[in-house]
Amino acid sequence: MAPHTKEHYQIGIICALHTEAVAVIAMLDEPHPKLASQKDDPNDYSFGCIGVHNLVIACLLAGIMGNTPAMTVANNMKRSFPIKIGLMVGIGGGVLSKRSDIRLRDIAISQPTGSHGDKPPIALLNALQSLKIHDINKGIPLEDALTTMAMNNPRMSAYDHLAGETCEDCDVKEVIEQKARKTTTLRVFYGNIASRNQVMKHGITQDQIAKKEGVICFEMEAARLMDNFPCLVIRGICDYADLHKNKIWQLYAAATATAFARILLSFVKKQEVADTPEQLDLQVLDLWKSVLGEKHPNTILAMANLALTWSQQGWSSEAEQLELQVLDLQKSVLGEKHPDTILAMANLASTWH
């Protein structure tokens, strides 16, 4: 199998915390070797696949959270890769209400409602609709996905839910008693997810915003992403966005969010993640190599076309390396004075300029 290049990665996943990124990496069917980043891209990427989809994963810098750093990471990712759809996967604070009995470890999905909410890519909305139909008929196999994670990385089996901090010092009249569920099955809630640059810890403010906007979850990264990085936000519930916020549930919540992401991707059709010019050039090149061999003029021409596409996309270093290969092949196959060899030299000179 030919090595993967940047053009193979059209789905991007962004995480805020390292624990979230660890969960996503553990959910991969197959990890891929790292690729060199653009010179002006400081992001650290992980690569792999789930099903038929190749994924590039990035995490915010340690200790730096909020929607501005997330937007910076997303913009860097889009400059380095031909991203078509994105996922924000991680943890969030659930909103208790009469309409949604959301609990710790449940999952909140950013499905736009009414006039509120940014619209994720059509491919993700189609996949989401198919998944919801599947849920009614057969359920969502979240436990199977979590088992896959534990098998891929046995250390992830420690991602279990524990008892959280209590409200023993609060006014007992204000304590909300939740009825025990009949099953321990995770539940998925769809609706508006509110984003802000600071952690939501004030219960009264949370209730006011949630009631007015129909919010099911609060988080910190997604608000400014949608315009330039169309994505779906997936949050495992680790607290209730109040003063009892703690980290006890974060690991398990990150795992449940990632489990949903894995299942959702299985409903995304490969053809809905449209081929880019780079991928089409790569397909032509691979076909010519397999049919005619690496030194056939058609194969060399396909290499030159790919280099030109990379150059037009601004990937000068990649274009330069490929054009040097084209020039060496033209010299060895056609000779230094052949018109195609001279053209290859001109293309290389143009890239250098």
* Domain range annotation of the chain: 6-272, 277-352
pTM: 0.70
Residue among 210, 10, 227 at smallest CA distance from 99: 210
pLDDT value, residue 308: 86
Q: Quickly state the pLDDT bin for 247 (edges 50, 70, 90).
A: confident
pLDDT value, residue 215: 85
Say whether pLDDT at 248 is over 70: yes
When mean pLDDT is compared across 72-76, 106-110, 150-154, the lowest value belongs to 150-154
Position with higher pLDDT, 325 vs 198: 325
Say whether pLDDT at 306 is over 50: yes
pLDDT value, residue 162: 41
Query: Collapsing DSSP states into helix, strand and coil, what is residue 293?
Result: coil
CATH architecture under which domain 6-272 falls: 3-Layer(aba) Sandwich (3.40)
pLDDT value, residue 242: 66
Distance, CA of 344 to CA of 337 (rounded, Å): 11
For 49-61, what is the mean pLDDT? 94
Torsion from C-alpha of 132, 136, 138, 139, nearest 10 degrees: 60
Percent of the chain with pLDDT over 90: 33
Say whether pLDDT at 96 is over 80: no
pLDDT value, residue 316: 76
DSSP label at residue 55: E
State which H helix or E strand residue 85 sits in. strand 85-94
pLDDT value, residue 272: 76
Cα-flanking dihedrals φ and ψ of residue 149, to 5°? Answer: -60, -45
For 266-289, what is the mean pLDDT? 79
pLDDT tens readout for residues 159-215: 444 444 455 555 545 555 667 777 778 899 998 887 765 554 455 565 666 566 678
Cα-flanking dihedrals φ and ψ of residue 110, to 5°? Answer: -80, 80
169 token code pair: 């010092």
For 1-6, what is the mean pLDDT? 73
pLDDT value, residue 161: 41
